[in-house]
Chain A
Amino acid sequence: MEVKDASYLIFLIVLLPIIPAFILFKFLPESSKAEATGPYQKLKIKLGGAFAGYFILTLLLSGLLSRYFLVVPESDYEFWTVEGHVDLDAIELKPEMFIIKPPRAVSDGNTFFIRSVPIDRTQPEVPPVITLQFPDAIPLHIWLKEESEHKQTYTVRRDEKRRTFVVSVDSLSIVESIIEGDYPEDDGVEAVPLPLGVEVVAPDSLEDSGTSS
């Protein structure tokens, strides 16, 4: 803070309150009939003269000022519930056989609920993701947005009134994603490191190959 700014601050803190103090003591001396009595915050108050005026003025101003200056900033996040349904009977899986990240709060048979999922209002293009993990199956990542490229696997509906995402998962797609055999750590295709920022010249470019996950 610069010296010039600090002098303004001193003026505000020290000199400014003198003005109402002068007015109060001028018009409400101790001998005046001004009086403030009654209960306040479980205390019995009995004040007189200038201090009674000061007390009442403080109460009035604090109410007014807090309304204008002490505004609680609105959070960037709002909390929604996720209500999901997987027809586990169709695929002979028990509800306890799958894991949800973040952990499910409540599960009722084929339906699961996740409470208080934070939704960033400032980044609607980055929806939160929940993951369903079934034994031996590829984890299913569910993007909590209505317009999805994965409609054959799951659908998401936004219920604005209940602040709830209603998720419905196609159980057949889970069966299709089951992989037989463990992941062999020592046997597989080598991933060859590439430098960043260098575009790779591709003799066998796979553009228009129609691949998807």
Chain B
Amino acid sequence: MQTIRVYVLLALLAGMLTGVETAAAQTVRGKLYQEGPDGVRRPAAFVNVVLKTNDLKPASYPVATGVDGMYYFRNIMPGTYILEIQRGGTKPLLRYSIQVLPKKVTNIKPIVLPASGPAPHVP
């Protein structure tokens, strides 16, 4: 019986050392595109993005997309969240439900903003 316990402990330890993913804080990243009047998609720069819990409470500090349209959230626990894309100050324009996976980095598929999407906001 004691031998089994030792094997179980060893297996757990090996799992930890070989990088079995646990429910640690993750990085979430994604990209925003803006559809132009010509129908061409371009990276949407300086758009405010907010991550909220399902009851619309802030889950992170708001971020803005870079010139490449990328946004990042750090130290997010795995689970279901609401991704809010805001126009100007704090007015939500679009809302999405996203799943943060128990991985080091969760990549969210690109989101295309409509032609009348949020105006670029220069910080």
- What residues make up the interface of A, taking CB atoms closer than 8 Å to B? 101-102, 126, 128-131, 133, 138-139, 141, 149-150, 177, 179, 181, 183-196, 199-202, 204-207, 209-213
Contact = CB atoms under 8 A, between A and B. Distances in A.
A206 B74 contact: no
Interface string B51-86: 101111101110110110010111111011111000
Contact of B73 (A133, A201, A213): A213
Contacts of B98: 189, 191-192
B123 A129 contact: yes
B42 interface: no
Interface size of B as a range: 35 or more
**Taking chain B's interface residues, is the majority helix, strand, or loop, or is none over half, making it mixed?**
strand
A206 B75 contact: no
Contact of A149 (B30, B61, B92): B61
B66 A194 contact: no
13 contacts: A129-B64, A138-B74, A183-B70, A189-B101, A191-B111, A196-B95, A200-B82, A202-B54, A205-B53, A205-B55, A206-B80, A209-B77, A212-B61
A184 B122 CA distance: 27
Contacts of A192: 96-98
A212 B75 contact: yes
